[in-house]
Structure 1
């Protein structure tokens, strides 16, 4: 799959994975689904769901560390800033041959364009928050979030990001 095809795939996912509404119970259900899916894959993740800057779900799985929590923060900051997944942001930067620092003047210590953070959009188009995981390879982090969101939304299985 070419870089352009991967970017288009990310746009398709962002248009499809939207909630009619999202509340505390949805965050708990989604967070637990991510936790259980990570257990089945033997991942040790930090998991966070935020809505309107409030943390509605947070978990640190056995084997995950403070470093994973920091990666969650950095990935989330990028999604909050750009409104696209952290994976899509990495692809976009790659296609433009630039870095976060060069393009936006942001510090890599606070922003990370690596897969695992995804914007939470409502069907109205309103960006309300993020769901972020860190601890597996970035492609696996991204695909775990995609598949779990698709399951929660009863969306047909998505085409996942293939190995590069």
Structure 2
């Protein structure tokens, strides 16, 4: 079954991400497994026009010990054909979600609406300028953040902020976003 078209309105996207239909009651390793396998199955069922090999990654926002590193709960490729660069995209999209607390697609749409253009180079430049971004390792800011669809916040009812991040990398960026949004809604509706 084909994915719906992802919204390009940042206010609509953020309202969806924070809605009860997108908020878990708990989030454990078992929940991550359920969500991760549901995402993999959903991607594998996409029509050829939307399907490509993709990497799925789900990580807690911080390690259980409170350390600064992430704790990955689920990671899987959907098919042969993912490349090491997918890992880099996962990290950069995750960083965006953790820093701004919204999906990487919503962040992109916020920047586009502020820049008045959707040309990739204009959007990226506007993103760097607006948020005064500098890379921690002396490289380009693109080394740290990505405002491309696929990074999505996990929220729990009654808990402030983002507790985990799910990322899909490999499909078209709007499809990376939409498959996560639709699958989270389905998993929550099933009582997980």
Give TM-score scaled by structure 1 length. 0.87
Aligned to 1:158: none
Q: CA RMSD in A?
A: 1.7
Aligned to 2:163: 128
Would you say the 8 A contact 2:8–2:109 is kept in 1?
no
Q: State the alpha-carbon separation in 1 of the partners of residues 163 and 143 from structure 2.
A: 24
Structure 2 residue matching 1:33: 3-state secondary structure: helix
In structure 2, runs of 5+ residues without a counterpart are: 1-6, 63-69, 116-124, 135-140
**From 146, 163, 166, the counterpart of 1:112:** 146
Aligned-pair CA distance for 1:5:
6.9
Would you say the 8 A contact 2:40–2:56 is kept in 1?
yes
Give the direction of change, closer, same or farther, for the CA distance of 1:5–1:76 in structure 2 (3 Å limit).
Answer: closer
Q: State the alpha-carbon separation in 2 of the partners of residues 145 and 19 from structure 1.
A: 14
| Number of positions where the alignment pairs a residue of Structure 1 with one of Structure 2 | 152
Larger CA Rg, structure 1 vs 2: 2
Would you say the 8 A contact 1:79–1:86 is kept in 2?
yes
In structure 1, runs of 5+ residues without a counterpart are: 156-164
| Cα deviation 1:99-134 (Å, max 9, x = unaligned) | 232122141121000000100111114220100000
Q: State the alpha-carbon separation in 2 of the partners of residues 68 and 81 from structure 1.
A: 20
Aligned-pair CA distance for 1:49:
0.3
